[in-house]
Structure formats: C-alpha cells, structure tokens
C-alpha cells in the first residue's frame, strides 16, 4: 500500500470514528485532522468536502460488512452454524453499540440531509445483512426466511437503542441471545413439519 493510500485510509477511519462519536453535523474537518494526526491542510488533497468523507465512510461500512459475512461463510459449513456465528459477531460489538449506538443507523440518519447518497449507500449494508440472513435461514429450512431476516435486523437495532438508553450492554447481549434462540426455533419448527 502506498503512502498516499495509507493517509487516505487513516483519514477515512478517523472520519468514521468521529462521525460515530460526535455525529456527522457536529464533526468538523479539523476534528478529523486531529483524530487522524494528519494536518488540516493535507486533508484537502484527499477529500475536498465533508460529503466526500461521508461517501468514503459508507464504502468502509459496505466493505467491512461484506468481509465479515464472507468470513462467516468461509469458516462455517452449515447454515445453522453461520447463523450462530452471525449472532456472536453482533454480540462482540455490544459494548461499543451500547456506548455510541449503531454506526450504520447513525450514519444513515446523519448523512440523510447533507450527504444523501452516502446515506443511501450506507443503507445497502442493512439490505446486505437482511439478504444474507434470508439466504441462510432459507438454507436452514425456515418457512418464512424473508420475514424472519427483517425481524432479526429490526430486533438487533431496537435492542441497540434500548441498551444505549439504559447504558446497559447486558440488555443487548441478552436480546441477541434470545434472537439466536428464536432463529433456532424458526429453523427447527420447519424441519419438524
């Protein structure tokens, strides 16, 4: 990787973290410069506007989500095991989600006014997650995979909001455990009929 792309990546990671912590509107280019350790003057060489940062951050979310799902697909053979691995992946972020909310949901909301294309691009992550879950649930024998995939993502997002409001990550962890149990029920109910 070249020095230029290292700086670009460092700036994008700093922007993603700043947007997640402070929100898109409250984050200035100076905040991104401070977070990245790259001078404000150099930022303009890589990103002309804050909107360009939002679009780059949306790409980070898409790429990271694709890679996470591909890793699950590669490391687990049975769809039931893939679903369990997915729930475990969500649990790993319970603490940060409880503290700062969901970076995806925050970005979709925050980008919508001033960077609508970045908001729409970030929403592709939720679509990707729903489609992946639908596919795995269907492979596992779920009779209603599309409905259950949407329900799973909605329950995860709702649990994040409640965990953040209560400042209690165990709420999110318990909700995800229950979601995993329900997924197993959706699959085993279909297999028995």
Q: What's the 3-state SS for 8-37? A: HHHHHHHHHHHHHHHCCCCCCHHHHHHHHC
Say if residue 56 is in the same domain as residue 41. Answer: no
Structural domain count, the chain = 2
What is the C-alpha separation between 15 and 33, in angstroms, rounded? 9
Say if residue 55 is in the same domain as residue 89. Answer: yes
CATH number, domain with residue 1: 1.10.10.60
Say if residue 150 is in the same domain as residue 55. Answer: yes
Say if residue 89 is in the same domain as residue 150. Answer: yes
Beta carbons of 53 and 122 less than 8 angstroms apart: no
Say if residue 119 is in the same domain as residue 167. Answer: yes
- Residue 85, both tokens: 């691995």
Say if residue 38 is in the same domain as residue 117. Answer: no
Say if residue 77 is in the same domain as residue 154. Answer: yes
What is the C-alpha separation between 86 and 98, in angstroms, rounded? 18
Range of the domain at 17: 1-48
Say if residue 37 is in the same domain as residue 74. Answer: no
pLDDT of residue 188: 81
How many other C-beta atoms can be found within 10 angstroms of the C-beta atom of residue 192? 7
Residues of the chain with pLDDT under 70: 1-5, 189-193
Say if residue 10 is in the same domain as residue 93. Answer: no
pLDDT of residue 1: 44
How many other C-beta atoms can be found within 10 angstroms of the C-beta atom of residue 109? 15
pLDDT of residue 4: 56
CATH number, domain with residue 82: 1.10.357.10
Say if residue 92 is in the same domain as residue 138. Answer: yes
By C-alpha distance, which of 128, 120, 146 is closest to 86? 128
Say if residue 1 is in the same domain as residue 84. Answer: no
pLDDT of residue 189: 65
By C-alpha distance, which of 83, 173, 64 is closest to 134? 83
């Amino acid at each position: 990787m070249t020095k230029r792309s290292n700086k670009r990546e460092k700036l994008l990671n700093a922007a993603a973290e700043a947007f997640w912590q402070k929100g898109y509107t409250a984050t200035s280019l100076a905040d991104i410069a401070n977070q990245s350790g790259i001078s404000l003057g150099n930022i303009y060489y890589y990103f002309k506007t804050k909107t360009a940062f939002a679009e780059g951050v949306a790409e980070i979310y898409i790429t990271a989500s694709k890679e996470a799902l591909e890793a699950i697909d590669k490391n687990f053979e049975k769809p039931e095991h893939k679903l369990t691995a997915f729930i475990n992946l969500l649990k790993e972020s319970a603490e940060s989600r409880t503290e700062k909310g969901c970076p995806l949901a925050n970005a979709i909301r925050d980008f919508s006014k001033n960077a609508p294309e970045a908001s729409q691009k970030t929403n592709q992550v939720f679509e990707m997650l729903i489609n992946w879950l639908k596919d795995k649930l269907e492979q596992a024998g779920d009779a209603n995979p599309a409905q259950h995939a949407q329900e799973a993502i909605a329950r995860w997002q709702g649990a994040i909001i409640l965990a953040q409001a209560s400042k209690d990550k165990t709420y999110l962890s318990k909700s995800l455990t229950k979601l995993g149990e329900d997924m197993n029920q959706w699959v085993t109910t279909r297999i028995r009929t």
